[in-house]
């Protein structure tokens, strides 16, 4: 079962992770979040300026490496995996007092002098189907921005039934993720 009252024990998470690691993506457009918007999906793109200068740039990259862009309290990543292509993670979401397990695999990464980040795509153990990219960019003036691009749609009957609520929580995630990145990239004055 992918829903539990308590945060699952490590053994349960490892079993789910091992099972999902053997499976493939739940959608055919793997890698499309790098550039495209797709018909028949909800397409979202959000970004925010999170800092200025080299210190902010390094902090922003480290925040992504440590998965600090995930809002604390109601989301958790297991394990804190390195940002490497094909790494699989369990995305835990707490709604209405219940923990919901979802699985995703890293599709691609960026690591250039002015762009750093990754995207992950849904596996069969995820309630939705689609892909989400998270990255930071540094422009020629040293301004650091954080970006989230996603395409998704409900996959399970429960996700389809709760579609309006899912969209509310997706927007909540984006707002809190943007705020988390601003918090983690604050530079000393």
- The 10s digit of each residue's pLDDT in 17-48 is 999 999 999 999 999 999 878 999 999 999 99
Number of domains forming the structure of the chain:
1
Cα separation, 61 vs 128, whole angstroms: 27
**H-run or E-run covering 64:** helix 54-65
Is the predicted pLDDT of residue 160 greater than 80, yes or no?
A: no
Contact 146, 181 (CB under 8 A): yes
Cα separation, 57 vs 143, whole angstroms: 8
Mean pLDDT of 125-140: 96
Q: Does 137 fall in a domain?
A: yes
Q: At what angle do helices 163-184 and 54-65 cross, to 10 degrees?
A: 140
pLDDT digits (tens, 9 = 90+) for 52-82: 999 999 999 999 999 999 999 999 999 999 9
pTM given for the model: 0.95
Q: Does 22 fall in a domain?
A: yes
Residues 6+ apart with CB under 8 A from 132: 33, 104, 119, 120, 148, 149, 150, 152
Contact 32, 38 (CB under 8 A): yes
Q: Does 189 fall in a domain?
A: no
Q: Does 45 fall in a domain?
A: yes
CATH code at 43? 3.30.530.20
Cα separation, 114 vs 116, whole angstroms: 7
pLDDT digits (tens, 9 = 90+) for 105-119: 999 999 999 999 999
Is the predicted pLDDT of residue 152 greater than 90, yes or no?
A: yes
């Amino acid at each position: 079962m992918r829903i539990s009252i308590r945060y699952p024990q490590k053994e349960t998470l490892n079993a789910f992770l091992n099972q999902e690691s053997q499976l493939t993506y739940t959608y055919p457009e793997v890698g499309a979040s790098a550039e495209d918007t797709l018909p028949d999906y909800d397409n979202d793109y959000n970004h925010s300026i999170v800092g200025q200068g080299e210190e902010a740039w390094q902090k922003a990259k480290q925040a992504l490496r440590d998965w600090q862009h995930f809002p604390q309290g109601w989301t958790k990543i297991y394990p804190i995996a390195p940002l490497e292509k094909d790494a699989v993670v369990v995305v835990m979401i707490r709604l209405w007092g219940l923990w919901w397990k979802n699985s995703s695999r890293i599709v691609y990464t960026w690591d250039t002098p002015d762009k750093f980040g990754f995207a992950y795509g849904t596996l069969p153990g995820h309630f939705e189907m689609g892909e989400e990219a998270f990255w930071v960019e540094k422009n020629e003036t040293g301004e650091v921005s954080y970006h989230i691009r996603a395409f998704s749609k409900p996959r399970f009957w429960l996700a389809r039934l709760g579609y309006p609520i899912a969209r509310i929580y997706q927007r909540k995630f984006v707002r809190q993720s943007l705020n988390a990145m601003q918090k983690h990239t604050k530079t000393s004055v």
